[in-house]
Structure 1
């Protein structure tokens, strides 16, 4: 016989109703007891708060419920095995990766520091006031942050003998000098070269170079012109016109290194005051004889050979004797044109001997002369500074011209 489940009959059964009610009451009480026995815990992670009710026994159990992994360098406010208590607040700070490049050496850190300054302090990375860091110390730490640190070192700048120690983190010598307000002129020298990278304990020498003009005044001796005078007794002399010394200015370009002169070059000479020649009358009067008239010799041509002049010896007829201020030059001087030609077109390169530069108003060009200490020559050249009783003898080399100097010499002029 088939049995059919009768729900209505079951519901009318008092024992069933009693049992069902008891089960519901017990289940409700059990649920309420389970919920009431939970504790409330707050978990803080990356400034985000999560409040949960849990039966977890330890901090680790709480974090596992929230699927939170705690790594080696993270900060956790409680130990993992600490028992959970009511209203517990668990703080978890995730460590961030920081890469530090210091003096070309790279180091990786994991930190929970909030700022760059906190990170440096926590990792015991010491910086001096001269060191350079790529980030502001108040900047917040971010994951995968790259920090560059350049450690400072000392170099010495020797500026014209004055030494100063400078802290730097690198760069070129030019950059170092500019950063320390060391200004250079075009003439100044720097050793080592300005494009060289600075290194620890390097000494940089700065040589200050100046070019100045030095003007020196020099006296010029006056020339003495002797003229025969038949009215004066032979063997005696009288000053007719008193001579006066002249003045010239010599302009030199002077090179100074760190205030000391290292070279000097004559640029030009200027006559400030021309010398005035002294005229002396030489007596020729003989008491027992009449005055003899001097015969003037015929002037020589400009092409006459110097050797022919020498053959005349000390012939006095037709000769005027002067005392003149003499200097020397060479065709290859700094102010010469380099062609080696005189103002009359004479080739000094091919014929460097027996040529004198004169003032044509005193000694006409082409005139034969004899110069004390030089010998016979022909007046073939002129010069801007050769005025009045001055001559400039030509010598084969520049060194010989420099060695000649400046002097007063006797000059015989053949008319």
Structure 2
């Protein structure tokens, strides 16, 4: 028995008699209908006998087609091959059989015509049914199989086979294309690739199954390039991450020389190393060392040396002036000398390719704070004269003693001022501070008072100048 859901039957019809014998079917109507497909287990036609429609024979023999007698419909009428009486029938039935046998060709045509029409209808429908069945070759990601389908177009075929496709998948021909028997349909699923090409990262989609196919499909020039995965590696539906660094020309300037290398290095520093350049100490590059080298880029190596220098500078001291009524007007006495402070600064001095750069301060510290100077300023009215001393030549004495310089100090530091007072004598005359710090008028006033006390004795060498 066939395994198909269809089975082959021969159509029911009158049994063919040898040509020329009575009861033989007409030519062309008695041939059996072959290769007609119908559902398994269902007869092609209902078995109602070999005659025509019910009542046909009765009408031919006196109009008894509505009598209700089964024989009136010809359902049990049989004629043997010899044309004699049928077995088990009465005489009237035998006579009816002989009468029917006399005109059998015309009766056979009438009986077979409805059956032939039904067979033709079913045969035509079966032919149309078979014509819609198509043999199609379907390839899904390289897996091929041949199948039969009633789908009208590619989209229906994929839906029928449960093949789901997305925006990144490839279907050839397109899903709306009409299908015909013998057509080929190919489906290739898209695969995500996280591609880093020469430092630029982006996600792309490919239907290729290998890295080499993906590079070719994406138009990436891979000759001499670095690949993070082998060309033969297969790409799964989940995709992969791929780093591609194409070959580039980089020029390195160092130590007065130029070197050009072809490289697929990931950083500028690696390209410089491939050029045979060694960075030492504080050496640096004209571009960031971890940046991606570009084709045609020029990189300069900067030879750097550095040292630290210490600079010290003085901080000026402030001065405070204090009034003193015991001092004559115009007299200023420094009671506490000021002292400048000291600041120390450390500078970093860098030399790039032999050229000294501007020093850069690193830190500053205060070594010594400045000390404030205190000055007393006299407010006492000055006397106009000293009796018995005003007529003397005090200018001549000052020239002889100090060169007429009010701030003059002898080499030993003991005597100072116009008249070379020592500090003890100066204080005994009412002076404050040091004589060389007092005004010229005050110094002359104190000198006149000293003359009245001791004469020219304090000036043994120049005292004679007072009298001219």
**TM band (smaller chain):** 0.3 to 0.5
Give the strand-richer structure, 1 or 2. 1
Question: How does the TM-score come out when normalised to structure 2?
Answer: 0.33
RCO higher in 1 or 2 (8 Å CA, sep ≥ 6)?
Answer: 1
Give the helix-richer structure, 1 or 2. 2
Question: How does the TM-score come out when normalised to structure 1?
Answer: 0.36
